[in-house]
Chains A and B, each alone.
Chain A
Amino acid sequence: MKSKRMKVFVALVLVCSLVTSVFLMACAKEEVLPTITSINPNQGQPGETLDVTITGTNFTGATSVSFGAGVLVNSFTVDISTQITADITIAADATTGARDILVTTAEGTGILASGFGVGEAPPAKPEGTLRVALDSIGAAMNFLPWVQGSTQIAYVLGMIGDLLIYVDHETLEPIPGLAESWEISQDNYSVTFHLREGVQFHDGWGEMTSADVKFTFDKCIESPVYAVPVTLRGLVDRTETPGPYEFTVYCKEPFAQLVVSSLATLHGFWMTICCKAYIDSVGEQEAGLHPIGTGPYKLVEATLGDKIVLEAVDEHWRVVPEFKWAIFTEVPEEMTRVAMIKRGEVDIAPVSTTSADTLEGQGWDIVECPPEAYDEIFWMYGQYPSDLPTYDPDLPFLKKKVREAMNLAINRQEIADTIFHGHAVPVGLPDSTTFSDEYEPYPYNPDQARELLEEAGYANGFEFELWNAQYMGQAPEMSELVLALAGYWEAIGLTPNVYTYSLTQKYYDMMQRKVVGVVWGESRIASYEPWYSRIQTYYSSSAVIISYYNPEIDTLLAQIQTLPTLEERYVLVRECYDIMYDEYATIPICSADRLWVVSDNVGEWVSIPHSMSLLNFEYITHSPPLGTFRLPF
């Protein structure tokens, strides 16, 4: 019995010993601290979110993982006791340098000193090709800004070159371009631009200096065909270069501030700064065909009517493009452009509103760039000063009630919805201005229109010519728009006779003030400034083509010319537009979008109004974006 008890006792001792041993062993194991042996990847960039694999031991039950300051651990998973996967985000403003990695368990914290590095953002590396099919790549392949034809390729000029200053279209304030700052003298007779240092011309043609700016500026001012130089040319007396990075413009009158405004408006008249040394070396003709600029792209090849090929530079002060190559191909036929998009031969193509609707229905992305790009306007010709031989006192358009009736007869919203398929908004002014929204579009009221005609003595209406004016750049919807207007006017008893003309056939007669009793319209690219110049061009006695005449506007324009600042001029410009609006001087219809169909390769494409031509192809990103894109300005 005693031996039996002894055996049980021994067995119990052994079992207890075993259990204790196991327990002690287990306890001893859990007490071991976690260790970190490696991290993959061991480096990240500011702004980056990535999954990191941490390898080591004793991770079971890990409660926290840390990557140091500026790195947020969004989540982590203990895959096995030797591996943790962590999802981290490195703050965009995280300081660069090494970070300690910490893994904490109930038993303590394992550390890997300097295990992870927050590196510098890598230099932008554009890649891939952006293929754009345009209805016209330009009527001329000359890339010197002072040569006629350059304005046709402003979208390319804005890519291969930079302007001295740009304009913020929200505030209309000039903003720095190649000139980082500028000083206007106290007497307002001169302005000195301080140039950005270190800006290089393409292909090793050296650094841009004030000599290049003076050369370009002087050439543009002297050129007879340079786009819209009248304002600027009239102001400038001479230019000088006080230093390699200083360029001064002296004025004939105290209008230096206006020089700055003029350079900033209308996109600096496309005055991209050219390389003097290069042009001196190869001559203007060669330089026009193979330009050297400072822009984010450089020209590789340009063939009139065929294609333009551009290559992105890897570093640029304004924008590093995401696409290494940009190829613009001329495809005049819209159906062909659509087919090319569908087959993946191009990434971007302009389309009409009708095609845009169809393509959108098929799942294609339609981009408005820039929105409300075109002003669709009509004029009533023959409103001339009474001393002109072609002045006809019996012309119906001379009566305000007739003009009002013709405006009230039009349902602008219907036009925007049907002809422009919703890609247009009715407007009250003939020109897009920053204050256009303050002028309500004229209401649609055909009954009142008929009454007005009766009051004006035209109860039975009258006949007039309605021109469907055709020229390059006219909106594809223009013919349809003309017919719609004819319908509206017929509905109030008028008799418009529609004729189709090439506009160039009629230019001469229009300039000679011989066109009387005619209504014709235009799709005009919305401009931002200088509006007083536009008023003078179309609505004054000295206009090249008088579209409306009112002596009050003449008086205001004369006053505007004496004002040295843009701000002062705006006040009177608004008065001019008030007169035109109240007098129903023109027939503004709507502002229409410029529409593009884009492929899946295209990511962000926003209209950046600071850029030339407003198309800013250099700012388009990949889809998904590569992340090399930097915002301009």
Chain B
Amino acid sequence: MQRYIISRVLQGILTLVALSLVVFMAARATGDPVLLLVGPDAPEEQREAIREELGLNKPLITQYLIFAKNAIKGDLGTAIRGGEPVSRMIMDRFPATVKLALATSVFAVFLGLILGILCAIKKNKAVDWLGRIIAVLGQSLPSFWVGIMLMLLFSVAWGILPVAGIGGPTHYILPVLAGGGFLLAGIARLTRSSMLEVLGSDYITFARARGTSESLIVLKHALRNAAIPVVTFAVVLMAFMLTGSIVIETVFAWPGVGRLAYQSITSRDFPVIQGIVLLYGAIFVFANLLADILYVWLDPRIRYQRAA
């Protein structure tokens, strides 16, 4: 197990290095940031002075090595626009994204599990159909549309919830509902199919034959096994949530990392883009690592297979 974790951590670091290299090169291949800084009115000597000041006139490999060396020390550089430290910009925004991601994840995982279990144990009944319709809608309706509809209904028409912005608990309700729909639907569908598979297995039949109560069968025997793929799925989806949804953050004016990423891309603020992509990469590497470890921990068969 220890060896497995070390190997996965090393793979993760390699992934991050490769990722940073790709992002670094790609960002520079798409245009000159100096043009965005000073616009077309600026003379060449002015643009050259800025390149000198920002180190953009150095060879690309030198620029990358400087970036990598500083990044290891936690210094992601300063934003081209405004000169603010990138790490501070990201950390200013990250808490808002984390809060929304956690709230959305709790909502989606909790309700998704309940819905999935209900659908499985009431297969082809009204509850199942209702749950499947909810799941299909959750995965097919665009979150920006859902967000706007919720806003018009709950905020404008009924006036019971705030429209946008970060604030008290009520500010979380609409973005969580709009953003959590997809996650909830995914978990519900996975839980349902997984539960149906487990509920049809021999050991469940045996438990029923022994006279074990249905609720005990579902919650203790079936759910424990059915939850394994759900847990890994939820962990990866939570990683998605942690990177910040540009759509949800835009619609609800949520000051998170997603919008910072969008702003940086449109203004070609390379240091910020690099910093955010590295953060995203780290989150996904960590989430995958966590999912793998959880999977191994939850399913002893995998451990035994590896040992064998």
Contact = CB atoms under 8 A, between A and B. Distances in A.
Contact of A305 (B50, B159, B255, B268): B255
A136 B259 CA distance: 11
A508 B84 contact: no
B155 A508 contact: no
B81 to A, nearest CB: 4
Contacts of A3: none
Contacts of A1: none
Nearest to B41: A537
A53 B205 CA distance: 94
A224 interface: yes
Contact of A507 (B35, B83, B89, B266): B35
Contacts of A224: 46, 49-50, 53
Interface string A322-338: 00000001111101100
A4 interface: no
A122 B142 CA distance: 56
Contacts of A121: none
Given A472-B266, A504-B31, A342 B81 contact: no
Interface string B249-268: 01111010001100100111
Interface string B81-94: 11110000100110
A234 to B, nearest CB: 10
Contact of A544 (B43, B152, B268): B43
Nearest to A345: B163
A611 to B, nearest CB: 23
Contacts of B36: 504
How large, as a class, is the contact surface on chain A? 35 or more
Nearest to B89: A304
A305 B263 CA distance: 8
Contacts of A537: 40-41
Nearest to B80: A148
Contact of B156 (A289, A342, A544): A342
A225 B151 CA distance: 41
Given A224-B49, A508-B35, A141 B82 contact: yes
Interface in B151-180: 151-152, 155-156, 159, 162-166
B32 interface: yes
Q: Which of A228, A288, A305, A472 has the most CB of B within 10 A?
A: A305
Given A288-B83, A306-B255, A343-B155, A504 B35 contact: yes
A230 interface: yes
A54 B95 CA distance: 63
Nearest to A229: B46
B148 interface: yes
Contact of A225 (B38, B40, B43): B38
B25 interface: no
A149 interface: yes
A142 B82 contact: yes
B298 interface: no
B291 interface: no
A140 interface: yes
A305 B259 contact: yes
A121 to B, nearest CB: 38
A340 B148 CA distance: 12
A303 interface: yes
Contact of B253 (A148, A333, A545): A333
A304 B260 contact: yes
Contact of B83 (A285, A305, A340, A545): A285
A139 B89 CA distance: 12
A171 interface: no
A339 B165 contact: no
Nearest to A147: B83
| A224, A330, A533 interface centre (most CB from chain B within 10 Å) | A224
A521 to B, nearest CB: 15
Measured as residues with beta carbon below 8 angstroms from the partner, the interface class of chain B is 35 or more
A449 to B, nearest CB: 30
A505 interface: yes
B30 interface: yes
B82 A288 contact: yes
B37 interface: yes
A345 B38 contact: no
Nearest to B47: A224
A336 B254 CA distance: 11
A472 B152 CA distance: 27
A303 B163 contact: no
Contacts of B148: 333, 335-336
A511 interface: yes
A377 B41 CA distance: 17
Nearest to B30: A505
Nearest to A505: B31
B102 interface: no
Given A225-B50, A335-B148, A230 B82 contact: no
A551 B155 CA distance: 60
B175 to A, nearest CB: 11
Contact of A339 (B79, B82, B155, B267): B155
Contacts of A505: 30-31
Nearest to A536: B41
A361 to B, nearest CB: 16
A133 B259 CA distance: 16
Nearest to A506: B31
Given A304-B84, A343-B155, A504-B31, A336 B164 contact: yes
Given A304-B260, A333-B251, A340 B163 contact: yes
Contacts of B49: 224
A57 to B, nearest CB: 56
B55 to A, nearest CB: 14
A304 B152 contact: no
Given A331-B164, A336-B253, A339-B156, A544 B84 contact: no
Contacts of A471: 266
B42 interface: yes
Contacts of A285: 83-84
A526 to B, nearest CB: 16
Contacts of A343: 155-156, 159, 162-163
Interface string B140-153: 00000000100110
A339 B162 CA distance: 10
Given A329-B253, A505-B30, A139 B151 contact: no
Contacts of B30: 504-505
Nearest to B46: A224
B164 A508 contact: no
A157 to B, nearest CB: 13
B83 A336 contact: no
Contacts of A335: 148, 151, 251
Contacts of B267: 139, 472
Given A140-B79, A339-B164, A343-B163, A303 B38 contact: no
Contacts of B266: 471-472
A551 to B, nearest CB: 21
Contact of A511 (B40, B165, B260): B40
B37 to A, nearest CB: 5
Nearest to B266: A472
Contact of B82 (A149, A306, A511): A149
Interface in B24-60: 30-32, 35-38, 40-43, 46, 49-50, 53
Contacts of B38: 148, 225
A332 B166 CA distance: 14
Contacts of A289: 84
Given A139-B82, A288-B82, 13 more contacts: A139-B263, A142-B83, A152-B81, A306-B255, A307-B255, A331-B165, A336-B151, A343-B159, A507-B32, A507-B40, A533-B41, A537-B40, A544-B40
List the 3 shortest-distance A-B pairs measured between CB atoms, nearest first.
A140-B82, A306-B255, A224-B49
22 contacts: A141-B82, A142-B81, A142-B82, A148-B80, A149-B82, A149-B83, A224-B50, A225-B37, A225-B38, A304-B84, A304-B92, A306-B255, A331-B165, A333-B253, A336-B252, A336-B253, A339-B151, A340-B164, A504-B35, A504-B36, A505-B31, A544-B42
